[in-house]
Each structure stands twice: as structure tokens, then as C-alpha cells.
Amino acid sequence: MQTGKIVKALAGFYYVKSDGIVYQTRARGIFRKRKESPLVGDIVDFEADNVKEGTITHIHPRKNSLVRPQVANVDQLLITVSIKNPDFSFYLTDRFLAYSESNHITPILIVTKNDLNDDEELIKKIKETYDMYDVYFTEKDTVNESLKDIFPDKLSVLAGQTGVGKSTLLNTLLPNLNLETNEISEKLNRGKHTTRHVELIDKNNGQIADTPGFSTIDFTHIDKEDLRFYFKEFNDYLDDCKFRGCVHINEPKCAVKDAVNNGDIKESRYNSYLQIYEEMTNYKERY
């Protein structure tokens, strides 16, 4: 019996890395009966007589797992958003941030295509709005050297709207990767999926999960009343609301709404919260 980490899932096979060696394995039938599936990032026990014919026998408990992309034990979500083509969206950025927070994963914001931007006020607004997070700006074919410090001892997932340049960013960070990239469709102002499977790639003593792009996310794993906890700056005011369990919408003497009115919480962030809350109320969340 050996223990390792699943570093790639493809066509029913799970590739488990143990002591520097990668074993091709399949999952035991018992997992299907239990309706369980191993995920990339899982720590597993497996049996293998050789590197081509192994069997996963046990999945260790996970600290978290994502549905889209399907990765377990994630340390940080690298939320990739473009400044242009497609245009920067505060609302989509807020969705990804709340999604990351709700899964108890550290979010890091990476703003791509800064070479296409000529609006310095937009840069200033992004920095001010997300000053509670680490924010990095990148340009085409240029590595932001500060990014190299975020990877050691972390499993990172790269996520973001389709067409924002995730594959381009990975190619820049990992020049030997040579991922396929597609041009943005001018008609739709959106890109095409370019990656076909989930795989962990070694980077600066850490790992990055290369995953397909997705443009919206699902909050069905949390109750709408808990959404307030995943807008980080709201938490500074929770104890000052008059009503315990205040969701900061219709309640009187709400400290969060007062903070919005005073400019201490950005109005765009609060509006994103209201929009997501309404969607959760109406059960109209779309993938």
C-alpha cells in the first residue's frame, strides 16, 4: 500500500504522484457504489505492481473540494480577470471572491492584459475596491516577478471568466507548458475553452491546477443567509448591527448599510452582494 496525491485525471484514469513517481491508476468499484469520485488534489492510498496498473483504495479526508473545477484540497484561488477584452467586471470579480471565501480558500486577484489599458482611474478603483486582498497586474508575455512568491507549499487553482487569458498566463509562468490558446471571438466578446482536463503542474515548490475556464459559478453549497460572511469587509461591522442575524438588506439600524452610505464599504461590493442574494433567493443560479 502506498500514499500519494492525484495530479491528473483523464479518461477514467487517475495519475497519482508518490515519492516523485507518477502511477496510472483506476478507482475501485466501491467508490462508484458510494457515488464517490476521486479528485485531482486528493491524497489517496493505492496499490500498484507497476506504474501503469494501479488501484486507488482509499481517499483521505478533504479540507475542501470544488465542483467547478473539480479539485480538492485547494490552498488558494488565483482569480484571473482581464482589464480589457473582455472588459473588467466588478460583479464577476465579486462572485469569484465570494465563491473562494465560501469554500475557505484564500483568494488572490490577478488582473491580466494591463498592456491594453489606458484608463488609470480604473486601475485606481480596482486597487481601492480590493485593498483587502492581494492584487497583481500582468501584461502579455511578461511575468510579474511578485507572482513567483505566492506558489511555495500551496496548491493553487487558476479560475476566471472564459477569455481572460488563463492559458496565456500559465504559458508565461511556465514557458515549457505550451498550452493551446485561442483568440477572443470579437462577435461574442468571449473566448473558447482551451483546456481539456484537470492537471497539477509544479511551480516554485508549489502546484497549479490547469482547469477549463468557466464564466459563472454556483452558490448552492451555502445558505443565502451565510452569503454575508463571504464579503470579507462586512465582517468588521456584524457586531454593530441592531439585529442578530442581520443580512444587511431590509433591517433597520444595519451597520453594514451605514458603512456603505458612509463610503467605508464600496457600493459596488454591496450591490454585488444584493444581486447574488437575490439570485439565491430565486433559485436561478446558472452555470
Q: Are residues 84 and 192 in the same domain?
A: yes
pLDDT of 238 reads 92
Note the pTM of the prediction, 2 decimals. Answer: 0.84
- The binding site for GTP comprises 112-115, 160-168
Q: Are residues 81 and 201 in the same domain?
A: yes
Question: Do the beta carbons of residue 205 and residue 152 sit within 8 Å?
Answer: yes
- The binding site comprises 112-115, 160-168, 241, 246, 248, 254
Q: Are residues 81 and 206 in the same domain?
A: yes
- Give the model confidence (pLDDT) of 101-121 as tens digits: 999 999 999 999 988 998 999
Tell me the CATH number at 115: 3.40.50.300
| Domain-embedded: residue 253 | yes
Average pLDDT of the chain? Answer: 87
Domain that holds residue 45: 2-59
CA–CA distance, 152 with 53 (Å, rounded to integer): 31
Work out the pLDDT band at 177, boundaries 50, 70, 90: low
Q: Are residues 182 and 94 in the same domain?
A: yes
Residue 176 pLDDT exceeds 70: no
How many other CB atoms sit within 10 Å of the CB of residue 61? 8
Q: Are residues 107 and 176 in the same domain?
A: yes
Question: Do the beta carbons of residue 39 and residue 65 sit within 8 Å?
Answer: yes
| Domain-embedded: residue 69 | no
- The binding site for Zn(2+) comprises 241, 246, 248, 254
pLDDT of 76 reads 95
Tell me the CATH number at 30: 2.40.50.140
| Domain-embedded: residue 68 | no
